[in-house]
Homo-oligomer: A and B are copies of this chain.
Amino acid sequence: MTQDSLPISFLSDFGLADEFVGVVHGVLAKLAPDSRIIDVGHGTPRGDVRAAALAMTRAIQYLPEGVALVIVDPGVGSERKSLALETNWGYFVGPDNGVLSPAVAMVGGASSMVSIENPEARIPSPGETFHGRDLFAPAAALLASGEAAIRDLGPELAPDQVQPLLLPLPDTQGKVVAGEAWWVDGFGNVETNIGPDDLRAVGLAPGAVLTVTVGASVHSIPWAGSYSDVEPGELLIHVDSAGLIAIAVREGSADQRLNLSSGVSVTLAGTGGREAG
């Protein structure tokens, strides 16, 4: 018991059908009994490293400083390293597949990085190691409770020994900004990798009507300040709650309307002469 127990924010692709999430909570509760656990979510599509990385990046500034535990690990059983990173926000624990990288960058980068290898920091398994339960959760709990310093978990790593995550940047050609859908939320809103500044740089501003191209289909959609600027059922473009350009339908689903899903290319441009700022 210590006054300094840190909260642990936990994201995975385990889903909630099995007892996996509960077992990780159990390990955390045993090893860090005074830490609050926040479930950032466990509904990431199985093995979708990029989706988990983006969710953590959107969430991190709203989570209490402490330990971020991110377990989306399609390469479990391979030789990928297990990471613990120290940042100004706190600690990040997860597999070395890039899933931690964008959120770590968002909080200013890591000041220290180790490969979790110390056998004393692990729980023995009766069979195949369940890394979430036997390795990542104990490491997170030891850091949260203050029972271990990051250097106790394993050897230090240099920046080039850690896997980055290559996120596509939007590409501007003339007056056309080419990007892609990054995320479709459960309400059918489509977040892109395009920021409002990318549009401003080509002379577009809120109030403009944009030409949105998805595959062979072309749509004229207004850049609105909020949902209520359009009628129910109408498309709008807006800066979403993460600060990115998103396509939405008021009281509807933009992904279905435009046949958009994560990873699909989208281009935005002005219509006619209106793009002149």
Contact = CB atoms under 8 A, between A and B. Distances in A.
A74 B227 CA distance: 11
A175 interface: no
A266 interface: no
A53 B130 CA distance: 20
A59 B227 contact: no
Contact of A17 (B47, B186, B241): B186
Interface in A8-55: 9, 11, 14-23, 25-27, 29-30, 33, 36, 38-43, 46-47, 55
A246 B128 CA distance: 10
Contacts of A127: 196, 238-244
A-side interface size class: 35 or more
Nearest to A239: B127
Interface of A: 7, 9, 11, 14-23, 25-27, 29-30, 33, 36, 38-43, 46-47, 55-56, 58-59, 62-64, 74, 76-79, 123, 125-130, 133-134, 185-187, 196, 226-228, 238-244, 246, 250-251
7 contacts: A14-B186, A21-B39, A23-B63, A25-B38, A78-B227, A125-B241, A126-B239
Contacts of A133: 62, 241
A19 B125 contact: no
Contact of A26 (B18, B30, B59, B242): B59
A35 to B, nearest CB: 10
A43 B134 CA distance: 23
A27 B15 CA distance: 23
A94 B130 CA distance: 28
B228 A78 contact: yes
B226 A77 contact: yes
A17 B30 contact: no
Nearest to A129: B241
